[in-house]
């Protein structure tokens, strides 16, 4: 089981890998904004798939808010820790 600190550290490692090892304030902010834009696009796509056979209504009702919540956490980390 991964703790909150472990999840945060793995997120930091992913951001460092994307940003080339430096985690400046502007680097965190850029990473957070890119993550937000990607999650927004994913949510838009998922909502448009509601009538298709790919996803049930119930699964979309769970996945879309989870993505939104994860996006808020990443933005918060980028703004406060950056």
User: What pLDDT does 17 receive?
Assistant: 60
CA dihedral over 29, 30, 34, 40, signed as positive or negative: positive
Domain ranges of the chain: 4-81
pLDDT over 70 percentage in the chain: 63
Neighbours of 44 (CB within 10 A): 11
User: What pLDDT does 41 receive?
Assistant: 92
User: What pLDDT does 13 receive?
Assistant: 65
pLDDT at 2 over 70: no
Tens of pLDDT along 12-47? 666 566 555 555 767 777 887 888 899 999 889 888
DSSP string, 13-46: HHHHHHHTT---HHHHHHHHHHHHHHHHHHHHHH
Determine the longest span between alpha carbons in the chain, in angstroms: 43
pTM: 0.57
């Amino acid at each position: 089981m991964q703790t909150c600190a472990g999840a945060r550290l793995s997120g930091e490692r992913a951001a460092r890998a994307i940003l080339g090892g430096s985690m400046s304030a502007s680097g965190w902010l850029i990473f957070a904004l890119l993550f937000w834009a990607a999650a927004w696009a994913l949510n838009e796509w998922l909502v448009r798939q509601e009538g298709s056979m790919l996803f049930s209504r119930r699964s979309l009702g769970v996945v879309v808010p989870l993505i939104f919540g994860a996006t808020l956490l990443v933005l918060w980390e980028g703004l406060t820790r950056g």
